């Protein structure tokens, strides 16, 4: 499988020191995303699984986030996915949206990220390849 490796590094200190995303060269869907803490250590790994084509659109139906440092996992399983659905504008009215607590995590990201994109010709080792070794 061919994939692009995209590295994002914020110009200013931010919640993550960098994010590395592996995307397929054919569909540009993410395979894996690695999040690094401010000290530069791998913190979280996000995997995109169970890709199926819905309404002509390749769609990952499962997203698994592994918190590496605490060794915990959260799985988001999608079902009944539908595209091009008419939604009323009132659904997105700020007056109707719940207020979130003030938190650095909820603040808008203002720093521009540097992006480095490189193409990986072949993934050499199934154990080191994003998306190659999946939990069943």
Distance CA 128, CA 97 (A): 42
SS3 93: coil
Spell out the per-residue pLDDT of the chain, length 136, in tens: 899 999 999 988 888 999 999 999 999 999 999 999 999 999 999 999 999 999 999 999 999 999 999 999 999 999 889 998 888 887 777 776 665 444 454 555 444 445 555 444 444 333 444 444 433 3
- 2: CB partners within 8 A, 6+ apart: 24, 25, 26, 119, 120, 121, 122
For 18-48, the pLDDT digits (tens) are: 999 999 999 999 999 999 999 999 999 999 9
For the chain, the distance separating the N- and C-terminal CA atoms, rounded to the nearest angstrom, is 19
Q: Which domains does the chain have, with CATH numbers?
A: 3-120 (2.50.20.10)
- Asked whether 49 and 62 are in contact (CB, 8 A), the reply is yes
């Amino acid at each position: 499988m061919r994939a692009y490796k995209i590295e994002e590094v914020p110009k200013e200190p931010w919640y993550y020191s960098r994010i590395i995303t592996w995307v397929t060269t054919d569909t540009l869907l993410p395979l894996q995303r690695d999040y690094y803490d401010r000290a530069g250590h791998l913190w979280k790994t996000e995997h995109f699984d169970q890709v199926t084509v819905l309404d002509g659109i390749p769609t990952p139906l499962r997203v698994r986030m592994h918190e590496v440092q605490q060794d915990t996992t959260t799985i988001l399983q999608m079902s009944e996915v539908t595209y091009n659905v008419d939604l009323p504008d009132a659904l997105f009215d700020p007056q109707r949206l719940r207020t979130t607590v003030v938190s650095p995590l909820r603040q808008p990201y203002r720093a521009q990220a540097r992006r480095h994109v490189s193409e990986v010709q072949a993934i050499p080792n199934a154990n080191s390849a994003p998306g190659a070794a999946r939990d069943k």
